[in-house]
Amino acid sequence: MRSLRILPIGRATIVALVLAAMLTRISSAASVSFTIDPARSTYHFVNIVSDPGTPPAPLQQSTILGVPVIPQVPGADYDSLSGTILADQNGGVLTFNGTSTVIAAANPAGPFLPAEFPGIDNFAVITNAATPVGVLSVALRNWQFTILSGTAQNGVLPSAGALTLATTQGYQVNNFSGQVSIVGQTGLDVATTPTSLTTAGGIETLILPVIRLPAAGVAGQLYITGTIVATRQVGLPGDANNDGIVNGQDIALVASNWLATGNGIAGDVNGDGIANGQDIALIASNWLASANGEAQAVPEPSSTLLALAAVLCLAAARRPWNRRLIDLFAGGTQDGQTS
């Protein structure tokens, strides 16, 4: 069998291309957007802490001025969440930068007291006996928060990624001191259940447990527990031609559109607006994966295969003699024939 001598490119260049693809794979991060599912995302307001001092332990009954609080009406301490989770994703790790928007729904148990300073009612408690200043009613309105910073990944506790929540909108109203802003409150997520980040059936699902304790020595801090469930649609990573399997045809499609830019470019499998080495790396990392979840009984791509893919892409794919090589690669490389 004669050796294939179509492309005049040196061994050092091939090695450099493969290394570049590997480094690209390691360092690349994609911006992702999850939509929060209100039907599965709920929160429990344990309290709006009005007593400066040591925060209550998780699930401990809270008090205002030493008097226990209870929901104003049944359901006033539970509600749902909606909004969008935005993050950079790299190697199964989500990194947050404060651009997410989590919105508390209008609580169907409302309206709540006090009636002054109306807004969207989210949560309300009342002391079950008189405090030194009388029976206190407290309502939280217009509450929104973001994931300020930190990381999350499957099977890891939120606190391990220093996941920090911050209130971006909202205020509390009580019948003693009136309206009090809660904007800017921050707290570490100390949930004791690991985050879940999984993909099935073309849907990636993020399940983020939340326990945010109030800060010690600060009055008016929120104490919440709950779960955020958010999803996003994903295709089969690396399947450039959407035929349900990642193989040589996808590499050929990248090669045919090498360095083309714009929205919806064929071969731009990572969606960053250009067909390049990052797309080759994504194809390589998902080699022979299929839409039905069954991997083909073929080894992962060898360094020779990846080198060939890189050479194909760097070559002038629109030249007729290179087009023949691309077509050969797309149809399979196991026949051992050359022209």
For residues 217-229, give the mean pLDDT: 77
Q: What is the pLDDT of residues 205-218, one digit of tens each?
A: 999 999 887 665 55
Res 334: pLDDT:
40
Q: Are residues 221 and 274 in the same domain?
A: no
Q: What is the pTM of this model?
A: 0.67
What does the alpha-carbon distance between residue 127 and residue 111 come to, in Å, rounded to a whole number? 17
What does the alpha-carbon distance between residue 228 and residue 82 come to, in Å, rounded to a whole number? 9
The size of the chain, in residues, is: 339
Q: Are residues 15 and 63 in the same domain?
A: no
For the chain, the domain total comes to 2
Q: State the amino acid at position 52 in one-letter form.
A: P
Q: Are residues 226 and 161 in the same domain?
A: yes
Distances (CA, A) of 94 to 107, 193, 284: 30, 17, 22
H-helix or E-strand spanning residue 275 = none
Of residues 261 and 302, more confidence is placed in 261
Q: Which residue, among 282, 254, 251, 275, has the nearest Cα to 22 in the 3D structure?
A: 282
**Domain boundary residue among 211, 233, 255?**
233
Q: Are residues 157 and 67 in the same domain?
A: yes
What does the alpha-carbon distance between residue 186 and residue 182 come to, in Å, rounded to a whole number? 10
Asked whether residue 3 is domain-assigned, the answer is no
Q: What is the pLDDT of residues 309-324, one digit of tens each?
A: 555 555 544 444 455 5
Asked whether residue 338 is domain-assigned, the answer is no
Q: What is the pLDDT of residues 61-82, one digit of tens each?
A: 567 777 888 899 999 989 999 9
Asked whether residue 261 is domain-assigned, the answer is yes
Q: Are residues 49 and 190 in the same domain?
A: yes
- What would the two tokens of residue 212 be? 């945010």
Asked whether residue 6 is domain-assigned, the answer is no
CB neighbourhood size of 336 (10 A): 6
Estimate the crossing angle of helix 248-256 against helix 303-314, to 10 degrees. 20
Q: Are residues 80 and 168 in the same domain?
A: yes
Q: What is the DSSP letter of 244?
A: S
What does the alpha-carbon distance between residue 281 and residue 270 come to, in Å, rounded to a whole number? 10
**Domain boundary residue among 233, 250, 278?**
233
Res 26: pLDDT:
43
Q: Are residues 176 and 271 in the same domain?
A: no
- 3-state secondary structure string, 219-265? CCEEEEEEEEEEEEECCCCCCCCCCCECCHHHHHHHHHCCCCECCCC
Res 148: pLDDT:
95
**Domain boundary residue among 213, 233, 253?**
233
Res 9: pLDDT:
41
Q: Are residues 240 and 227 in the same domain?
A: no
What does the alpha-carbon distance between residue 337 and residue 339 come to, in Å, rounded to a whole number? 7
What does the alpha-carbon distance between residue 337 and residue 142 come to, in Å, rounded to a whole number? 69
Q: What is the pLDDT of residues 81-137, one digit of tens each?
A: 999 999 998 878 999 999 999 999 999 999 999 999 999 999 998 988 888 888 889
Asked whether residue 101 is domain-assigned, the answer is yes
The domain containing residue 241 runs over which residues? 11-29+236-331
